[in-house]
Structure 1
Amino acid sequence: MKKKIVISGMGVVTPIGDSVESFWTSNLQGISGLRLEDRMDLSALPCGWVSATVPEETKKVIKARWGDSNQAWGDILMHTAVSQALDDAQFKGGLKRPAGLMWARVWPGPSGSFPQDYVDFMKSAGERYLTAGNEPGDVVAYLREKQEEERLEASDLSAFPTELSAKLGVPLVASRLDATCSGGLRCLIEASRLLQMGKADFVVVAAVVSRSNHYTLSQYAQLMALSRWRGPAAQASMPFDKRRTGMVINESAGALILETEEHARARGVKQHYAELGGWGLAIDTVHLTAPRVDMVERVMRTALEQSGLAPNQIDTVNAHGTSTRLNDVTEAKALHRVFGEHMQTVDVCAVKSLTGHGSAASGILETVIASLSLCRGIIPPVTTCTEPDPECNVRTSLTPIHRPVANVLKNSFGFGGQYASIVFRRPESARP
């Protein structure tokens, strides 16, 4: 018998809110986290002059909470989001079986993307190998001797699952996934698989990105994927708008608690944010960066079929909506193929209009918004889409839409031909 999988807890740290409620309010009010990037000289880049980072005051509060932990900043962000999600799920310990962990994070090094991070990591790994040798006893002795000075690097590589296991009080069935910008949804899908197979009753899903540096921006600039907007920074990300010129990179973290409905009720948690309906996954090897309409269509149709829903039963689409010329029109064309005339009544939400693009973390953050739309009957606006692209022809709004929402389709697509789509249902007992 197929188990009901529910989202029982959520946590976020974003450029427009460091809690679920502040993040939701900012989405409803159209508050943008996009700012001109003034921390580095970007004059030589053809695009990418705007970014969206966690405000400095928020960073100070978060760092003060965790103290001098020697953890990489990405781990600190994830711990913050996960702690919120566990509190939100009313987690008090007492798990009787191993828990699951599905997570995604840029690797390696505190910055996540500088070439020197990779050079330093490989160099130090080689030096350790030559020094420690092959004998097990010598390796153990070396690690004991170097424990203190190696703590930062070890933390960056593996401490997050270990620390989370200690917090939950049980062993973890853990996997770290690399599925580029579809990674957040992929983590959700793999978590659902764990629960359906009975390998765990309680799974933490987390993703983080913090890579706003000159090297990363120059990488995306070579692809001309970043916004070339010269007007007000807050308008730089404009999904489905005919003036869109590219995406904006952000810094963010998100976490969700997934569990079987039966397990949640046994813990005394009877109200949930969303129920996972069906999902679709695909990997396309035709092009590294260009999405294809037929692949987007495929994952959406698969998600609908698995959920047992007809297209006309979807109330809103929480779009991938990156604000790039190609992605938005590709997603829109696929939506029209799947929904046909029903697209005239399907409301489309595009969170990246306010937050920018957070790679794998975006799928988690946007699932938070999709889940709250189910619970509260409100679809956030896309305030930057003031000149809708007729080639996309999707239904967005400049103000919040108040309507009953029973089913949401969420999309995420990524470089490397990664496609993911999930249907979320309104649970029988929705969180107020």
Structure 2
Amino acid sequence: MNEIGVRLQESCGRASLIVGQAMMAETSPRVVITGVGVVSPVGIGNDAFWRNLSSGRSGIDFMEAFVRSDLPCKFAAEVQDFDAMGYLRQRKMLKVMSRDIQLGVSSANLAMEDAGLSRGDVDPDRLGVEFGAGRISSTPQELAQAASDCADAQEAFEYTRWGEGSMGKIAPLWLLKQLPNMPACHVSIEFDARGPNNTITSRDASALLALAEATRTIQRGAADAMIVGACSSNVDPVDIARMNLMDSLSHNGEDPKRACRPFDMNRDGSIVGEGAATFVVELYEHAVARGADIYAEVIGLGAGCDGTGYANGAGGTGLVRAIQKALQQAQLRPDELGHINAHGKSTQRDDLVEARAYHRSMGTAAERVPVTAMKSYFGNFDAGSGAVELAGTVLALRHQQIPMTLNYETPDPNCRLNVIHGSPMRSRSSAAMTVNRTDVGQCAAAVLRAV
């Protein structure tokens, strides 16, 4: 074959590949959300969560879990009146569950109940789990006795004593409370889910990345349904001190309800919190066959990374790519979105990076599409906050109403976004996008459409 023939054959091959990929995209199995479960600082359960979101009730207050006099930030978004015993089937597992895990598994039980599914309703081999988790802290009490036994008479720490006997003062199963894969393990045990099981530990982006992997798992035929979520609890003195060193916590010491101010010109930092949300994600045909109530369809997913975090410029390249990919897959123009549920961390640097990413990825539509930032209600708590925000998006699509952003009073001229404030807003579209970004540049975006 001559050179022209070879090139023609190669061109035809590439064209066939492109057409084949396009056909695969058009015929990809539909994936829908049929259950939502929320355990959050603004409510446990969908009704309480949505009622407080839609009425503008903040879950941020003075910290109650610990004495706060020496902490750099006195505020937190804590889950109130929570007792895991009321939500778990496998209650004997509580002894090896940290607060994070309890929140996550409880939200999974609420989601499965909301979806109308009980243990055994889905073929166990066709039911999987995809869960996001952050850094799970141990409590000082768990290590206090072992640490004190290593001190000599002058209270100097003797390292040799650790192996000689102090280590034996730690409970044998102590580490099981801190492993980030344990939420997914406990959820699979709760519901006898023997299908694909994985854990995502990409901090704030974990929930959306878990949703993306679960969607692909269903689309490739490896599962009929997936239990998807994320959980975190950062209401811990060590976490607060660490986050204050590595990040920007609000030092507003007067009014906790006004401390978290995403995209406001006078924002001064984020607020720690805790919570979890879980979703039942199903193949559309599977959901229809069992008569499920469908919340929304997952129509677009995207991910990206800035590579070197903030050192890679202030434009948020990873978020730009994630947004563009999600919109491309959803086959939507930016101005067709009813709203964006923003990451809205409430730090000067993060919000600016995010706003510039919207302008780079969406052009002039970035100043028109309504934006809400739900961290103004419940702060930032790693993987779990992204999941709770996703729940807010799903319920906003269900109710066709977008919660306002709290404490947005003075627009930042460097952000130039259409931030919803003052009162909730009726949605103009059945589609919405939610995004998350970590401070080292891991980014994810998801586009959902009400069904």
| TM-score interval, normalised by the smaller of the two chains | 0.7 to 0.9
Q: What residue is the counterpart of 1:24 in the other structure? A: 50
Q: Which runs of 4+ in 1 moved over 6 A?
A: 112-117, 288-291
Q: What residue is the counterpart of 2:127 in the other structure? A: 99
Aligned amino acid, residue 403 of structure 1: S
1:132-153, Cα deviation, whole Å (9 max, x unpaired): xxxxxxxxxxxxxx9xx64554
User: Is contact 2:128-2:188 (8 Å) kept?
Assistant: no
Partners of 2:188 and 2:410 in 1: how far apart? 48
Aligned amino acid, residue 106 of structure 1: G
Give the CA RMSD over aligned residues. Answer: 3.0
Q: Secondary structure at the match of 1:306?
A: helix
1:339-367, Cα deviation, whole Å (9 max, x unpaired): 33333431111110011012111121111
User: Is contact 1:182-1:412 (8 Å) kept?
Assistant: yes
Q: Secondary structure at the match of 2:257?
A: helix
Q: Secondary structure at the match of 2:302?
A: strand
Partners of 1:419 and 1:112 in 2: how far apart? 33
Report the Cα offset of residue 112 of structure 1.
Answer: 10
1:292-324, Cα deviation, whole Å (9 max, x unpaired): 433322211111111111122112100000001
Q: What pairs up with 1:48-127 in 2 under 5 angstroms?
A: 48-55=73-80, 58-59=81-82, 61-63=83-85, 66=88, 69-72=94-97, 73-92=99-118, 93-96=120-123, 97-108=125-136, 110-111=138-139
Q: Is structure 2 residue 230 aligned with structure 1 residue 207?
A: yes
Q: Secondary structure at the match of 1:303?
A: helix
Q: What residue is the counterpart of 1:37 in the other structure? A: 63
TM-score (norm: length of structure 2): 0.81
Aligned amino acid, residue 131 of structure 2: W
Q: What pairs up with 1:14-413 in 2 under 5 angstroms?
A: 14-37=40-63, 39-40=65-66, 42=68, 47-55=72-80, 58-59=81-82, 61-63=83-85, 66=88, 69-72=94-97, 73-92=99-118, 93-96=120-123, 97-108=125-136, 110-111=138-139, 150-151=172-173, 153-154=175-176, 157=179, 160-269=183-292, 271-287=293-309, 292-395=315-418, 396-413=420-437
Report the Cα offset of residue 26 of structure 1.
Answer: 0.7
Partners of 1:89 and 1:246 in 2: how far apart? 37
Aligned amino acid, residue 383 of structure 2: A
Report the Cα offset of residue 207 of structure 1.
Answer: 1.2
Aligned length: 399
Change (3 A) 1:399 1:280: same
Contiguous gaps of at least 5 residues in structure 1? 132-145, 428-432
Q: Percent identity?
A: 26
Change (3 A) 1:385 1:273: same
Change (3 A) 1:405 1:110: farther
**Quick check: 368-377 or 11-20, which moved more?**
368-377
Partners of 1:111 and 1:200 in 2: how far apart? 37
Aligned amino acid, residue 243 of structure 1: N
TM-score (norm: length of structure 1): 0.84
1:42-64, Cα deviation, whole Å (9 max, x unpaired): 5555x422111111xx12x4345
Q: Secondary structure at the match of 2:96?
A: coil
Q: What residue is the counterpart of 2:12 in the other structure? A: none
Report the Cα offset of residue 213 of structure 1.
Answer: 1.6
Change (3 A) 1:113 1:30: farther
Partners of 1:229 and 1:168 in 2: how far apart? 43
1:198-232, Cα deviation, whole Å (9 max, x unpaired): 11111011211112122111111113411122331
Partners of 2:416 and 2:302 in 1: how far apart? 24
